[in-house]
Amino acid sequence: MRWPTRKKKQSGPASLRRNFVTPEGVDLKLELGGAGTRAAAFMLDAVIIFVVLIIVTIVIVTLFVASRQSDALAILWLIGFFVLRNGWFTLFEMGGRGATPGKRVMGLRVVARDGARLTGGAVIARNAMREIEVFLPLSFLGAQAAEGTADAFLTIFALCWSGIFLFFPLFNRDRLRVGDLIAGTWVVRTVTGSLGHDLVAGKESARRTFSDAALSLYGVYELQTLEDVLRGGRDDAIATVAWTIRNKAGIADDGDDFGFLSDYYAALCARLERGLMLGKRREDKFAASRG
C-alpha cells in the first residue's frame, strides 16, 4: 500500500467498506471500524485498566497493612503496573479474538491488512507505538506539572504532539493509527447476525399479480429498501410505502398493506432476477427500464 496521502477523490460519501480478497478469490468487503467506535473502545480499555490498577493497589495496600511485607508487595505492584501498561493491549490482541475487551464490546477486531495471520511482532509493533501516541505526552505533562515547571510552551507542545497522533486516523482513508501503519494491521468491525427469514417463501394462499407497467416502476435499490421496510415491520412505514406504490402504479387499496407489499416484493424480485440472468441489472428507478 502507498503512504497515505491526500488525493482528490471522486465525489460521494467516503465508505469504510474495503475490498478484501480471500485466497479463494472472493471479495469479503470488510467494514473498517469508524474513528468514533475506535475512540470509544480505547476509552473503555483505559477505564478498565485504571479500575484494575486501583483495585490492585487497594489489595496490595491492604496486604501490606496486614503483613508488612513491603518489598515483595512493592515489586508486585511495579511489575503489575508495567504489565498492565504494556501488556494489556498486546496480550489480548495476541489471543484468538484479536481484540481487547474494549474492542470486543464495540465489535472490533485487529487483523493484518494483507489477510495473513496476525503475528506477535505486528501486535507488539502496533501497541508499542501507543507509548508515543498517548503515554509519552501524558507522562511528560504529568511529571512537569507535578514539579510545577509545566509552562505554556511545554503544554502546547505536548498537546500538539498528542494531537498529531491522536487524530492521525482521521487524516487517512483507512483509519490507520501510527501503530497500524508500522504493523500493517487495520481494525475491522466484527459483524454477526442470523439469517433473516425468506420474505417470499412459505405463502400458502394465492398471490396478487401485477401488470408489467406496475413492475417496471422500480429497480434493485427500491426493492432492497422495500425489503428493509418489510423486515422492519413498522406499521406506519408499511402503510406509507404501500400507499406510495399503489398511487404510482394506479392500484386500488385492498386494505391489506402487508400482504400487498409482500406480493409486490415477490413479483418485483422475480422480475429483476430474471433481468439479472440476462445480464441486465437495473440499479434503481432512474435507470432505463428494460422494455
Partner 1 sequence: MTTASSAILEAQPILVNATRFRKAHEAEWERLEYLVSRIEKRSVAALSDDDLLVLPLLYRSALSSLSVARETSLDRALITYLEQLCTRAYFQIYGVPTSALRQIARFFAKSWPEAVQAIWRETLVAFLLTVAGAVVAYLLVRSDPTWFFGIIPQGLSDGRDPSASAESLRATLYGASHKDDGLAVFATYLFTHNAQIAIFAFALGFAFTVPTILLILYNGLMLGAFVAVFVPKGLGWNLGGWLMIHGTTEIFAIILSGAAGFRIGMAIAFPGRLSRGDSAIAAGRSAATAMAGAVVMLIVAGLLEGIGRQTVTDDWSRYGIGLTMLVGWLVYFYMPRKA
The one-character DSSP state at 135 is: I
Q: Which is nearer to partner 1, 88 or 210 (CB)?
A: 210
Q: Which is nearer to partner 1, 65 or 252 (CB)?
A: 252
284 binds partner 1 (CB under 8 A): no
260 binds partner 1 (CB under 8 A): yes
Helix (H), strand (E) at residue 185: strand 185-189
Q: Using CB under 8 A, which of the segments 35-43, 57-65, 92-100, 147-155 binds partner 1? A: 92-100
Query: In angstroms, what is the minimal distance from the CB of 218 to partner 1?
Result: 11
148 binds partner 1 (CB under 8 A): no
Task: Find the binder of partner 1 among 12, 13, 96, 233 (CB under 8 A).
Answer: 96
> CA-CA distances (angstroms) from residue 46 to 51, 158, 185, 244?
9, 19, 21, 50
182 binds partner 1 (CB under 8 A): yes
The set of long-range contacts for 28-36, using a CB threshold of 8 Å and a minimum separation of 24, is 30/111, 30/188, 30/189, 31/188, 31/189, 31/191, 32/174, 32/175, 32/186, 32/187, 32/188, 32/189, 33/106, 33/108, 33/175, 33/187, 33/188, 33/189, 34/175, 35/169, 35/170, 35/175
Q: CA 19, 20, 23, 26 torsion: positive or negative?
A: negative
> CA-CA distances (angstroms) from residue 107 to 19, 34, 241?
19, 11, 33
212 binds partner 1 (CB under 8 A): no
Q: Using CB under 8 A, which of the segments 37-45, 48-56, 145-153, 264-272 binds partner 1? A: 264-272
Binding mask 98-137 for partner 1 (x = CB under 8 A): x----------x-xx--xxxxxxxx-xx--xx-xx---x-
Q: Using CB under 8 A, which of the segments 38-46, 148-156, 236-244, 272-280 binds partner 1? A: 272-280
259 binds partner 1 (CB under 8 A): yes
141 binds partner 1 (CB under 8 A): no
Q: Which is nearer to partner 1, 11 or 117 (CB)?
A: 117
The DSSP-derived string for 88-133 is HHHHHHHSTT---HHHHHTTEEEEETTSS---HHHHHHHHHTHIII
The answer to whether 282 and 216 are in contact (CB under 8 A) is no
Binding mask 155-174 for partner 1 (x = CB under 8 A): --------------------
Binding mask 27-66 for partner 1 (x = CB under 8 A): -xxx------------------------------------
